[in-house]
């Protein structure tokens, strides 16, 4: 392309997260950047959208942003930010999300707002990538951000197939290399802790205990062995090889 690419950067950790700043500045080395993010943290909201009230989008001054990054905050969900960024600010050549504060592996993708941004971009027909970094005390986004810019340049040049989205996870520390992986079975066993408020009324904290994924080709295995994990995912959920079986056992309406 002759003009500089336009890249939309979103997240679910909110506009003030250091992860989105690192990602936006990295993307500014390969294109012009619109940073559009929720005004408060929205981790775990998945692909939710706001349709029962108006949305507001405000230009936002953030410290240490490169000159070709323009930042906005939206009083909505991560997906709202992608919709607003694309429909109001202009259609980008790439949507990236993150870098999330914490990994998004296996079944985390079903509730991840970070991944939801990439789903939305993909549904809008724009190549999209979600980026996340494993938890550590210092949350150093530098290695991830520089690799994100390299991968993003490749994706802008080559595109992605229809309904295909990339989910990328960075390990803690300097990565040993890059592995292309399958989505693992990593998930959380939900647990609910009941407590009592000062009035004696119960309230609940929903949490989860993370599972271990033994599959060696999984996103989980790559990240926990110190590698960058790149997983291609298909947003067509139909289980095609199972269709015939379902046709066989599905009863007719009458008879
Ligand atoms: Mn998050």
Quick: pLDDT tens for 1-49: 668 999 999 999 999 999 999 999 999 999 999 999 999 999 999 999 9
Neighbours of 204 (CB within 10 A): 9
Distance 76 CA to ligand 1 centre (A): 14
Q: Is residue 231 part of a domain?
A: yes
Q: Is residue 96 part of a domain?
A: yes
Q: Helices 18-27 & 142-158, crossing angle to 10 degrees?
A: 40
Q: Which domain holds residue 78?
A: 6-184+213-249
- pLDDT tens, residue by residue, 78-116: 999 999 999 999 999 999 999 999 999 999 999 999 999
Q: Is the pLDDT of residue 158 over 80?
A: yes
Distance 140 CA to ligand 1 centre (A): 15
Query: What is the Rg, in whole angstroms, of the alpha carbon atoms belonging to the chain?
Result: 19
Instruction: Note the pLDDT of residue 3.
Output: 87
Centroid of chain to Cα 74 = 17
Distance 29 CA to ligand 1 centre (A): 24
Distance 42 CA to ligand 1 centre (A): 7
Distance 9 CA to ligand 1 centre (A): 14
Residues in the chain, overall count = 255
Q: Is residue 189 part of a domain?
A: no
Q: Is residue 208 part of a domain?
A: no
Distance 41 CA to ligand 1 centre (A): 7
Distance 215 CA to ligand 1 centre (A): 25
Biggest CA–CA distance in the chain, Å, is: 69
Q: Is residue 200 part of a domain?
A: no
Distance 92 CA to ligand 1 centre (A): 22
Q: How many domains does the chain have?
A: 1
Q: Is residue 37 part of a domain?
A: yes
Q: Is residue 199 part of a domain?
A: no
CA-nearest of 43, 184, 55, 190 to 117 is 43
Residue 21 belongs to domain with CATH number: 3.40.1210.10
CA-nearest of 228, 13, 10, 21 to 134 is 228
Instruction: Note the pLDDT of residue 209.
Output: 87
- pLDDT tens, residue by residue, 205-245: 988 888 998 899 999 999 999 999 999 999 999 999 999 99
Distance 255 CA to ligand 1 centre (A): 51
Q: Could you tell me the two tokens for 39?
A: 């005004």
Q: Is residue 39 part of a domain?
A: yes
Q: Could you tell me the two tokens for 232?
A: 């291609």
Distance 11 CA to ligand 1 centre (A): 7
- For the chain, the straight-line distance linking the first and the last C-alpha, in angstroms and rounded, comes to 60
């Amino acid at each position: 392309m002759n003009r500089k690419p336009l890249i939309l950067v979103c997240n679910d950790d909110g506009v003030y997260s250091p992860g989105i700043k690192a990602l936006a500045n990295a993307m500014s080395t390969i294109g012009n950047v619109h940073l559009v993010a929720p005004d408060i943290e929205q981790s775990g909201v998945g692909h939710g959208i706001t349709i029962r009230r108006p949305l507001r989008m405000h230009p936002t001054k953030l410290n240490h942003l490169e000159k070709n990054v323009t930042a906005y905050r939206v009083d909505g969900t991560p997906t709202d930010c992608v919709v607003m960024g694309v429909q109001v600010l202009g259609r980008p050549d790439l949507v990236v999300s993150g870098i999330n504060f914490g990994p998004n592996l296996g079944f985390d993708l079903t509730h991840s707002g970070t991944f939801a941004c990439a789903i939305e971009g993909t549904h809008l027909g724009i190549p999209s990538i979600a980026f996340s970094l494993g938890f550590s005390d210092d949350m150093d986004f530098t290695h991830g951000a520089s690799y994100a810019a390299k991968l993003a340049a490749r994706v802008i040049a080559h595109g992605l197939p229809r309904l295909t989205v990339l989910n990328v996870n960075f390990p803690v520390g300097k990565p040993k290399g890059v592995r292309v992986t399958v989505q693992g079975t990593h998930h959380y066993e939900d647990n609910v802790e009941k407590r009592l408020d000062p009035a004696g009324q119960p309230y609940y904290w929903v949490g989860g205990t993370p599972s271990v994924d033994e599959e060696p080709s999984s996103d989980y295995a790559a990240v926990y062995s110190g590698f960058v994990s790149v997983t291609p995912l298909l947003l067509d959920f139909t289980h095609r090889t199972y269709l015939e079986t379902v046709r066989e056992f599905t009863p007719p309406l009458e008879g």
